Every structure is written in structure tokens, then in C-alpha cells.
């Protein structure tokens, strides 16, 4: 089954989602693990707002901007050792996410996650929130040659889902998601619920800015 969207006009058969800031608020968990790494270097903790703006571009970017001047590989090992202890308690689905996924599956759409978050974390959280069955495929940076903003992850998802770029819609919360979608030739809508401000998203020129997941559900249900 295909669903019509009007920005730009096309019939879509698949919806691809970012994860952090789009489907889930995981900033408390990410901040806790960043501060664990910072503590190992004798650095003071950062606030969630200070960490938020660096989330979404992959672990090297996140750690490089929040734990400056250190060994990113060693710090990432510290981060990964700590994160499972805080990941579930510090992450929540955004309002309307579970209901949206159920409705999109009822409409017959194929669904995927394409996130720069380590894919094992994404899959574990989707299972914990009892929404894993909604997705036909879940991809992370480990699954492709390059993380977002390279188009590799979206292109891999399209191949797995058996749809063309013209038949897909990508939903994200950052300008990096807009850039990724443009590189893959996929229409992109964004929600201002993550790392980038509405002003930054507007400047990135997505096909549409949607206020929240409830509005997204309404638009895709027309």
C-alpha cells in the first residue's frame, strides 16, 4: 500500500526514522555516559543541554566535542562499558511514537530506523519499548561504509525494504538528517524535538517541518 505526501507530491511505501531526538528522548542516558567519561579525566560534568547539541553525528563527533583533547577510541570504550547501565532508565519514547508506528503498519507501510547511534543500543531499546516488531529493518553506522550525513545508511535501508528513493520518506530531527536524505534522493520531514533548533532546521530547508509525532501521524493518515 502507498500513502500520498504533498511535500513534495509523491506516493510513499516506506518511512525511515532517525532514533535519538526523533522517536526517543535519550539525552539523559547519553549525558550520564559522557559525564562518566569526563569524570575519568577529572573533568566536571556537563548539563544535558550542553551535551544535546552534539548528539546525532556519531560517537567520534560526540566525544570529540564533549571530552576534548583525549583519545576518542579509549573514551568510546569507556562510554560503551558504562552506557548499558543507564541506557534504559535514561531513555523514553517521545509522546505519540508507539501509536504512530502502529498506525503506519496498519497502513501497510514498510518501516526502518537509520541512526548514527550504535545499532545494538537502538535494537535493545526498541525491544525494551515493545516496538521492535514495527520495523522491517534497523540500521546503524556499523552496517554501512560511512555514517550520516553520507547517504549509505538510507540507501542500504531502501535496498532491504525493496523500495525506491522516490517511494520513501525520512523523518529526522537534525540538519544532518536533511543532508543525508538529500544525498539519497529521499524526501525528508523533520521534527524540532531533538538536537537542532527550529531555526536551524528551517535554514536546512527540509521538505516539511512537523511539530511533533502526533501531527506526523495525522499527515500520513490523510
Q: Which residues are catalytic?
A: 18
Residue 9 belongs to what H/E stretch?
Answer: strand 9-12
Angle, nearest 10°, between helix axes 72-82 and 27-40? Answer: 120
What does the alpha-carbon distance between residue 50 and residue 54 come to, in Å, rounded to a whole number?
A: 8
Query: 156 and 12 in contact (C-beta within 8 Å)?
Result: no
Q: Which letter, b or e, does each residue of 55-70 get, where b requires 16 or more Cβ atoms within 10 Å of its Cβ?
A: bbbbbebbbbebbeeb
Angle, nearest 10°, between helix axes 152-161 and 175-184? Answer: 60
Q: Phi-psi region for residue 4, left (φ > 0), alpha (ψ -120 to 50) or beta?
A: beta
What does the alpha-carbon distance between residue 47 and residue 160 come to, in Å, rounded to a whole number?
A: 38
Read off the DSSP letter of residue 89.
Answer: T
Amino acid at each position: 500500500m502507498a500513502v500520498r505526501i504533498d511535500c513534495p507530491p509523491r506516493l510513499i511505501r516506506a518511512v525511515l526514522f532517525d532514533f535519538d531526538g526523533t522517536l526517543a528522548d535519550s539525552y539523559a542516558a547519553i549525558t550520564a555516559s559522557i559525564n562518566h567519561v569526563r569524570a575519568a579525566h577529572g573533568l566536571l560534568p556537563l548539563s544535558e543541554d550542553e551535551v544535546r547539541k552534539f548528539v546525532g553525528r556519531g560517537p567520534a563527533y560526540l566525544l570529540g566535542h564533549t571530552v576534548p583533547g583525549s583519545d576518542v577510541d579509549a573514551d568510546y570504550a569507556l562510554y560503551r562499558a558504562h552506557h548499558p547501565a543507564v541506557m534504559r532508565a535514561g531513555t523514553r519514547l517521545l509522546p505519540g511514537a508507539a501509536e504512530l508506528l502502529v498506525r503506519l503498519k496498519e497502513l501497510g507501510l514498510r518501516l526502518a530506523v537509520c541512526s548514527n547511534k550504535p545499532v545494538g543500543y537502538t535494537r535493545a531499546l526498541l525491544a525494551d519499548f515493545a516496538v521492535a516488531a514495527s520495523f522491517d529493518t534497523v540500521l546503524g553506522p556499523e552496517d554501512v561504509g560511512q555514517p550520516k550525513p553520507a547517504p549509505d545508511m538510507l540507501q542500504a535501508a531502501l535496498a532491504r525494504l525493496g523500495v525506491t528513493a522516490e517511494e520513501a520518506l525520512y523523518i529526522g530531527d537534525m540538519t544532518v538528517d536533511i543532508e543525508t536524505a538529500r544525498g539519497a534522493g529521499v524526501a525528508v520531514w523533520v521534527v524540532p524535538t531533538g538536537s537542532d533548533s527550529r531555526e536551524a532546521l528551517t535554514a536546512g530547508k527540509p521538505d516539511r517541518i512537523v511539530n511533533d509525532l502526533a501531527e506526523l501521524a495525522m499527515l500520513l493518515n490523510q
